[in-house]
Amino acid sequence: MNTRYQKTRYLTSAPNVKTAPPDEGFEVAFAGRSNAGKSSAINAITQQKSLARVSKTPGRTRMLNFFRVDEQRRLVDLPGYGYAQVPEAILKNWRWALESYFSERRSLRGVFLVMDIRHPLTPFDRRLIEWCQHWEFPLHIALTKADKLGRGAALQILRTVEAELKAIEGLKISLQLFSALKRTGLEEAWAVLDRWLEMPRSNGAE
């Protein structure tokens, strides 16, 4: 059990990095195509029922949503896009908002990409992965909704995705199976966040 994320609170939303909270301390960005299971993953990780629901508030869906873990640490819910055809103007704006965030955000320590295990490596995911490679951000991938598959099938997808991504030069990557529904994979997710956010070690109680 890890209780360090339980006090996470919604901080603010910003359309782009220029209006984001002060660029201090440590930040981890959560990315994922819409409906991949990102909000559910954030809620499971922070052990809250509806923390990430704020990201669904109309007007905030295309924003960077900031959550405060503590004085020095934040989680950021990045905007995704869906299955439906997205108008070019919106895509362009999304690309610009995320590219400027990735290129300018000094407190960003790593990218936590949530992919539905049944639909891994969509064009959305590949774009994110390219950016991580380009800006040398460590990337952690949670293949979520793993409960939808048997253990063997899930592991096979994990290995296939891993083999493809480990072949990309200069990409620092780790992967795991996850299920918000069954609450599996939490320890691995917390370990990655603890490391990236430089969480002080607790003294045993957790």
Tokens 């400027």, located at residue = 100
Give the bridge partners for 115, in sequence order. 143
Yes or no: say if 185 and 167 are a contact pair by the CB < 8 Å rule. no
Q: Checking DSSP bridges between strand 9-14 and strand 64-70, what pairing results, if any?
A: antiparallel
Residue 52 beta carbon to Mg ion: minimum distance, rounded to whole angstroms: 6
Report the nearest approach of ligand GDP to the CB of residue 22 (Å).
Answer: 26
Please report whether residue 147 would count as binding ligand GDP according to CB under 6 A.
yes
Measured from the CB of residue 205, what is the shortest distance to ligand GDP in angstroms? Answer: 28
User: Judged by CB under 5 A, which of 8, 17, 30, 39 binds Mg ion?
Assistant: 39
Annotate 48-86 with b (16+ C-beta within 10 A) or e (fewer).
beebbeebeeeebbebbbbbbbeeebbbbbbbbbeeeee
- For residue 22, what is the DSSP state? P
Give the span between the Cα atoms of 206 and 202, in whole angstroms.
7
Q: How far is the CB of 71 from ligand GDP (least distance, A)?
A: 27
User: Taking the mean position of all CA atoms in its chain, how far away is CA 154?
Assistant: 20
Residues 79-118 interacting with ligand GDP (rule: CB under 6 A): none
Residues 167-196 that bind ligand GDP (CB under 6 A): 179-181
One residue of 25, 32, 79, 120 binding ligand GDP per CB under 6 A: 32
Piece of 9-17, 39-47, 139-147, 168-176 that binds Mg ion (CB under 5 A): 39-47
Tell me, by CB under 6 A, how many residues bind ligand GDP. 15
Rounded Cα gap, residues 190 and 178, in angstroms: 12
The least distance separating Mg ion from the CB of residue 34, rounded to whole angstroms, comes to 7
Candidate segments 14-22, 33-41, 94-102, 132-140, binder of ligand GDP by CB under 6 A: 33-41
Write out the residues near ligand GDP by the rule CB under 6 A: 32, 34-40, 144-145, 147-148, 179-181
